[in-house]
Amino acid sequence: MAKVPVQFTLNGEEKAEFVDSGATLLKVVRDKLGDTSPKSGCNQGTCGACSVLVDGELRLSCLTLAETCEGAHIVTTGGLAKDGVLHPLQRAFMDEFAAQCGFCTPGMIMAAKALLDRTPDPSRDEVVEALSGNICRCTGYEPIIRAVLTAARANSQNAA
Amino acid sequence: MPLALKTYSTVAEAGSALKAADARYLGGGTLVVRAANEGDLSFSTYVRSTDPLLSAIMVEAGVVTVGAGVTMAAVARHPELTAIASAAKAVGGPAVRNMATVGGNLFAAAPYGDFAVALLALDATVHTTAGYLGIDEFLAGRDSSDAVVASVSFAVPAAGKFRFLKAARIKPKGVSIVSIAAVIETDAGGKVTSARIALGCMADRPIRAKGAEKALIGAMLTEDGVAKAVAAVGEGTSPITDAIASAWYRSEVLPVHFRRLLLA
């Protein structure tokens, strides 16, 4: 299988790899770069567990070819905590008990981050809409929605 | 089977590369990479183009040309496309809308392809590497096409002329039970002078409701006025059956949703 060079940043770190042509971003991030925070769920673009930010936009890494991310800035849940301090979204997900099995959580957090980066003070409906591409089979969604709203409040208090 | 990605700087070059039997055009990846992930062995080469025209939206004299690589999210937020934003927002969740393209939606098999339903109602023209095609003709021949879609163009409907409805079981977002798009013109007295109605999920691809279009001409958009069109909306349809709904169920609910769309 032909290998092709790809360079991008992953959570702020420069990465340069030879990857299989046609390999998905999910496979490269998990198997080559060792960041297993994006999950391989359905591989069909249905569950949202593989969600990452590519240049600030929410994308499904299972349906994105790594080669198309040349020069891009990729952010995953694995890169959110800084110096051992959790991101407000991670903290809120813990406080609100928004994770049970936890498989959907990294995707949920990325979808929530994509929302809060553009809409720091979202309505409940905006949160529901922002999470509409992510499936959770444990929580019934309510704790997740609460967590995102809590994180938004925490952010606004920090900014004040 | 190993897969390879080939990138071309122009649509024309990508069009030539797509003539190869093992090639498939890669837009946003929501259909083609999904197919590869599911084990589709009918292709081994992804072909894509980075032509800037593919991601352009141009509005000139009331006619918009949308590049085939424009995403649903880009359509939904474009200030001059607010009249049709509802159709772009109906597609997928936020991540899918950031990836799924206008060109790709034209090839999406039911129950997907809600935006193509809108394009059919809008009487869009599809610009491909094989020339310009009306959308009816394009959709009919899409399975055997080896051309690359470069853009679609259509007259931007005046506010209130374009109607769109997607019925799904999951709120706020789910796969379509049925989607309906309509462009309806009325005279000063409120009588319908022209109607173009497109249905999603009522065949393997978007189709026109020609019986209902005909029955609407001269009618008022009232409960009584639309009755004949509502009765005719299922003519010539052969709905899909999937995990969301059976063909029977889709046939039963189509007139209900169509009436709601007309009376909204």
Q: CATH number for the B162-263 domain, one of 3.30.200.20, 3.30.390.50, 3.40.50.1100, 3.30.56.10?
A: 3.30.390.50
Kindly determine whether residue B94 and residue A129, on different chains, have CB atoms separated by under 8 Å: yes
Burial class (CB in 10 A: 0-12, 13-18, 19+), A91: middle
> What is the ipTM metric for this complex?
0.96
CA angle B98, B103, B107 (to 5 degrees): 110
In chain B, domain spans = 4-49, 52-155, 162-263
Task: Count CB atoms within 10 A of the CB of residue A48.
Answer: 28
- Amino acid in the structure at residue A51: S
Q: Is A5 exposed, middle or buried (0-12, 13-18, 19+ CB in 10 A)?
A: exposed
Q: What confidence score (pLDDT) does residue B45 get?
A: 96
Q: Among candidates B112, B121, B81, B110, which has minimal Cα distance to B239?
A: B110
Q: What does the alpha-carbon distance between residue B138 and residue A118 come to, in Å, rounded to a whole number?
A: 38
- The answer to whether the beta carbons of residues B68 and B165 sit under 8 Å apart is no
Q: Which CATH architecture has domain B4-49?
A: 2-Layer Sandwich (3.30)
pLDDT at B159: 80
Asked if A11 has any chain B CB less than 8 Å from its own CB, the reply is no
Fold for B52-155, please state it. Answer: 3.30.465
Q: CB B93 to CB A134 under 8 A?
A: yes
State residue B95's pLDDT score: 98
**Mutate which of B8, B70, B96 to test chain A, going by most A C-beta atoms within 10 A?**
B96
- Contacts for B79-82: CB closer than 8 Å, 24+ residues apart: B80/B156, B81/B57, B81/B156
Q: Collect all residues of chain B within an 8 Å Cβ-Cβ radius of residue A133.
A: 92-96, 173
Q: Which residue in B29, B48, B93 is closest to A48 by CB distance?
A: B93
CA torsion A78→A79→A81→A82, rounded to 10°? 150
Contact, A105 vs A64, CB < 8 A? Answer: no
Residue contact B95–A1, C-beta within 8 A: no
Question: Which amino acid is located at B109 in the chain?
Answer: A
| Strand-pair category, A73-75 with A3-10 | parallel
Which of A20, A22, A133 is closest, CB to CB, to B96? A133
Any idea where the domains of chain A sit in the sequence?
A: 3-79, 88-159
Q: Look at the domain A88-159 and name its fold.
A: DNA polymerase; domain 1 (1.10.150)
B170 CA: distance to closest CA in chain A (Å): 9
Which pLDDT tens digits describe chain A residue by residue (160 residues)? 689 999 999 999 999 999 999 999 999 999 999 999 999 999 999 999 999 999 999 999 999 999 999 999 999 999 999 999 999 999 999 999 999 999 999 999 999 999 999 999 999 999 999 999 999 999 999 999 999 999 999 888 776 5
A3-79: CATH architecture: Roll (3.10)
pLDDT for A1 equals 62
Nearest to A133 among B29, B33, B93 (CB): B93
Which of B30, B94, B99 is nearest residue A114 as measured by Cβ atoms? B94
Chain B positions with Cβ closer than 8 Å to A = 2-5, 7, 26, 28-30, 33-34, 36-38, 46, 48, 73, 92-96, 98-99, 172-173
- CB pair distance less than 8 Å for B36 and A22: yes
Q: Do domains A3-79 and A88-159 have the same CATH topology?
A: no
Q: How far is it, in rounded angstroms, from Cα A132 to Cα A66?
A: 25
**pLDDT tens, per residue, chain B with 264 residues:** 579 999 999 999 999 999 999 999 999 999 999 999 999 999 999 999 999 999 999 999 999 999 999 999 999 999 999 999 999 999 999 999 999 999 999 999 999 999 999 999 999 999 999 999 999 999 999 999 889 999 999 999 988 899 999 999 988 888 999 999 999 999 999 999 999 999 999 999 999 999 999 999 999 999 999 999 999 999 999 999 999 999 999 999 999 999 999 999
| B8-43: b (≥16 Cβ within 10 Å) or e | bebbebbbebbeeeebbbbbbbbbbbbebbeeeeeb
Q: What's the gap in Å between the CA of A1 and the closest CA on chain B?
A: 6
